[in-house]
Amino acid sequence: MDRFMELAMAEAEKGLAEGGIPIGSVLVCDGKVLGSGRNQRVQYGSAIRHGEMDALENAGRHPADVYARSTLYTTLSPCAMCSGAILLYGIPHVVIGENRTFRGEEDLLRSRGVDLEILDDKACIEMMERFIRDKPELWHEDIGV
């Protein structure tokens, strides 16, 4: 597993340990981590604190050229909200741990020129399968079912 995806997985594991949803994300530019985060909807009582959104928030403000050179690592395929943020900030490359348990707006991202790399990572898949099995009501709340 890539070191940045390992960091995203560590964020997901922290979220799970906190009673939240195990999705982690890391924003990287020129080999440097700008921000990392995890889904914290439960922890913050937030409607928008998905893993990708949390990583962007923790990265703080940057000029457009920084985002244009960045890669976003996420343990799970990005939802519509997070995909919108990826497009808004012009992030050109997204590395996705897995998209079997949830396939987000990958077609939209590709149609707008975002390069997606799907790792189909076993650890990411197993973590989400276990979470969905153990806490289906929380998972359905998070994805709007």
Q: Which residues are catalytic?
A: 52
3-state secondary structure of 96: strand
3-state secondary structure of 45: coil
* Integer angstrom CA distances of residue 115 from 25, 60, 77, 106, 142: 17, 23, 13, 10, 25
CA–CA gap between residue 120 and residue 20 (Å, rounded)? 22
CA–CA gap between residue 20 and residue 14 (Å, rounded)? 8
* Integer angstrom CA distances of residue 122 from 1, 24, 65, 111, 127: 10, 15, 34, 27, 9
Ranges assigned E (strand) in the chain: 24-29, 32-38, 70-76, 93-98, 115-118
